[in-house]
Amino acid sequence: MKNINTSKAPGAIGPYVQAKLVGNFLFTSGQIPVNPETGVIPEGIEAQTEQAMKNIKAIVEEAGGKMDDVVRTLCFLSDMGNFAVFNKVYEKFFPTDKPARSCVAVKEIPKNCMVEVECIAYIKP
């Protein structure tokens, strides 16, 4: 078991790590849309989804994988009215091999974000 941390995604804001690599399986913590360079959370669901997915991608790549290695995502939206816009941006990160997914609305996301995404990836040896 190995902790995965990268400066290309925001650091943990609590007692957890960005991800754990267990054998070939990567389990990420939920990623909110914080820009790791500036600490800024962009405005709007489109920009927030883009940043959250960039954070997921950075962690997957730090573990030696690519987005095609993602087998499952769990996505949290603060408002299901944003589902269509979220999907439009999310899909760009999985152009060829889409993972299994759950997407749910929740009452609140840390830092009043509109989206949070976590994933499980199988990093090929």
For the stretch 46-55, pLDDT in tens is: 999 999 999 9
What's the pLDDT band for 11 if we cut at 50, 70, 90?
very high
Taking alpha carbons only, the member of 114, 121, 120 closest to residue 50 is: 114
DSSP reduced 3-state for 70: strand
- Which domain, by its residues, includes 55? 2-122
The catalytic site residues sit at: 103
CATH number of the domain enclosing 96:
3.30.1330.40
* Whole-structure pTM value: 0.96
Number of domains forming the structure of the chain: 1
